[in-house]
Structure 1
Amino acid sequence: MEVLKPAMQDGSISWYRFEGVKLRLADNTFYTPDYCVMRSDGTMEMHEVKGFWQDDARVKIKVAADMYPLKFIAVKRQAKKNGGGWSIEEF
Structure 2
Amino acid sequence: MNATEAKYAAFLAGEVAGGRVAAWWYQRMSWRLGPGTHYRPDFVVLRPDGLLELHEVKARAKSGFGATEASWAKVKTAAGEAPFPIRVVWPNKGAWEHRAITPTAAERAA
TM-score bracket relative to the smaller structure: 0.7 to 0.9
What is aligned with 1:33? 41
Residue aligned with 1:88, SS:
strand
Residue aligned with 1:3, SS:
helix
- Superposition CA RMSD, Å: 1.3
Percent identity (aligned): 29
What is aligned with 2:57? 49
Name the CA distance, whole Å, in 2 between partners of 1:70 and 1:39.
12
Residue aligned with 2:29, SS:
coil
Can you give the 5+ residue segments of structure 2 that lack an aligned partner in the other structure?
Answer: 1-8, 60-65, 102-110
- Counterpart selection for 2:31 from 19, 23, 28: 23
Equivalence map 1:1-91=2 (5 Å): 1-51=9-59, 52-78=66-92, 84-85=93-94, 86-91=96-101
Residue aligned with 1:65, SS:
helix
Higher helix share: 2
Residue aligned with 2:77, SS:
helix
Residue aligned with 1:2, SS:
helix
**What do residues 11-66 of structure 1 show as CA deviations (whole Å, max 9, x unaligned)?**
22111111011111112110000101111111000011111210111111111010
Residue aligned with 2:16, SS:
helix
- Count residues with an aligned counterpart: 86
Can you give the 5+ residue segments of structure 1 that lack an aligned partner in the other structure?
Answer: 79-83
Residue aligned with 2:53, SS:
strand
